[in-house]
Amino acid sequence: MPVHELAVLGAGVSGLALAVQHTQLGGSVDVYERRRAVRPDGLAFILQENGLAALERLGLRDEAVRGGRELTEYQLFDHRGNELAQEKLDNCVGVRRGDLIDALLSRLPAQALHVGKSFVRFGWSAADRAATAHFTDGTTAEADWFAGSDGIRSAVRSQLFPGHSLSPVRVNDLVSFAPTAALGLEATTRFSKIVHSDGGLAVGYLPCGDEVVWFLQFDTFQYPCENAAAIGLADFCRQTLAGWPPMVQRLIEATDFTRSHLWASTRLTDPLRDYVQGNVILLGDAAHPLPSVTSQGVNSALEDAVALADALADVAPLADYSTSRAEHIARYIAQGMSLQADFLAPVNGDPVIPLARSASKGRL
């Protein structure tokens, strides 16, 4: 394969996965990350079939899921404790973000990672050809190709598509960890969700190693969360979930809210149709922020990374990367809209598994 020099801007899930695969395919890579260290932080996500297949391509599936837990069942209740649905799950694993980042970092040559490098702009040698990436510390990097993997508020995207703006999403998530032992959930492999019968409020929880990751999903129109400090988040949970089943009360009491993350999702007002401009390519949240209800943010980021590494290694045409990924993403966005509408509406007799599935099987 041709040895391209690739500069990856942003060392999150998509950027690290791309760097690992590009190196494995024989390319040369440098990764530039805004933060002073790439810490294995964050909370957790559900890896689905498409994300697991991408990790398999990277040769990292076993390593990435080792600390997680396979999810074999989905169970849905209403807030009065009535069971509404039970389904089998396949190819779903609850994984801590830190474990995934650690697995990716373990395959990246140490000298390839440059931290404390916050990208601000490109220097162009022609209208569609970036020659250098400029960082806030005054340094620059040269490369044949530049990959923008700098997340939801991407500075690379702003450079390429200055007219594209982000809009808030009505449904937000408050994500937290609680120890499994305090909840009697040491052995469970179940993803459970409890929904308010009138819609607009839900609690989901699933095991992830020796912790349970749980989320309060809420309609910001009906349930505004005004204090994002730990004490405010704890009060918000206690107030909005008063009278909910005992497991919900135990989750709240077992949680250290200083570790919680209030996920105020955003979306691109107009989704991008093309992720490539000359020798600059977007991937992950930089290319396509996805609603959290889809659980596709991390899975599609891993898929992007593998598809882009193939394109850069001339295994597949670069034009196909953009077209085929944008098609997939349009499907996830459509599923996300439908899942959000279901979430906001009163519970009906046809509950769906709240995940956007890669082969368009959202409704199981």
Ligand X SMILES: Cc1cc2nc3c(=O)[nH]c(=O)nc-3n(C[C@H](O)[C@H](O)[C@H](O)COP(=O)(O)OP(=O)(O)OC[C@H]3O[C@@H](n4cnc5c(N)ncnc54)[C@H](O)[C@@H]3O)c2cc1C
Q: Which residues bind ligand X (CB under 6 A)?
A: 9-15, 32-35, 41-45, 97, 118-119, 149-151, 155, 175, 284-286, 297-298, 301
What's the DSSP call for residue 154? -
Please, which residue, 14 or 340, has the CB nearer to ligand X?
14
Residue closer to ligand X (CB basis): 302 or 347: 302
Q: Are 69 and 94 in contact (CB under 8 A)?
A: yes
Specify the residue, 170 or 259, whose C-beta has the smaller distance to ligand X. 259
5 or 314: CB nearest ligand X: 5
Tell me the closest approach of the beta carbon of residue 101 to ligand X, in angstroms.
Answer: 8
SS (H, E, C) 202-250: EEEEEEECCEEEEEEEEECCCCCCCCCCHHHHHHHHHHHCCCCCHHHHH
Burial class for 212, CB neighbours closer than 10 Å (0-12, 13-18, 19+)? buried
Cβ proximity to ligand X: between 9 and 339 the closer is 9
Report yes or no: 14 and 24 within 8 Å, Cβ to Cβ.
no
State in angstroms the smallest separation of the CB of 96 from ligand X: 8
* Nearest approach, Cβ of residue 148 and ligand X (Å): 9
Per the listing, tokens 């490098």 go with 117
User: By beta-carbon distance, which residue lies closest to ligand X?
Assistant: 12
Residue with smaller CB distance to ligand X, 78 or 292: 292
The span from the CA of 294 to the CA of 73, in Å, is 18
> In whole angstroms, how close is the CB of 83 to ligand X at the nearest point?
27
Give the C-alpha separation, 245 to 241, whole Å.
Answer: 9
Q: Which residue from 303, 341, 363 is spatially nearest to 219, judged by alpha carbons?
A: 341
3-state DSSP assignment of residue 171: strand
SS3 label, residue 97: helix
User: Least distance (Å) from ligand X to the CB of residue 197?
Assistant: 27
Indicate the residue type of 147. Answer: A
Shortest CB 243 distance to ligand X, Å: 28
Q: In angstroms, give the least distance from the CB of 308 to ligand X.
A: 12
Nearer to ligand X, 205 or 244 (CB): 205
- Taking each helix axis from N to C end, the angle separating 297-312 and 49-58, rounded to the nearest 10 degrees, works out to 40
What is the nearest approach in angstroms of ligand X to the Cβ of residue 305?
8
Burial class of residue 34 in the structure, from the number of CB atoms within 10 Å of its CB (0-12 exposed, 13-18 middle, 19+ buried): middle
Cβ nearer to ligand X, comparing 66 with 80: 66
Helix (H, G, I), strand (E, B) or coil at 193: strand
CB of residue 32 vs ligand X: minimum separation in angstroms? 6
The 8 Å CB, 24+ separation contacts for 273-278 are 273/326, 274/322, 274/326, 275/321, 275/322, 275/325, 275/326, 276/318, 276/319, 276/321, 276/322, 277/128, 277/160, 278/126, 278/127, 278/128, 278/129, 278/130
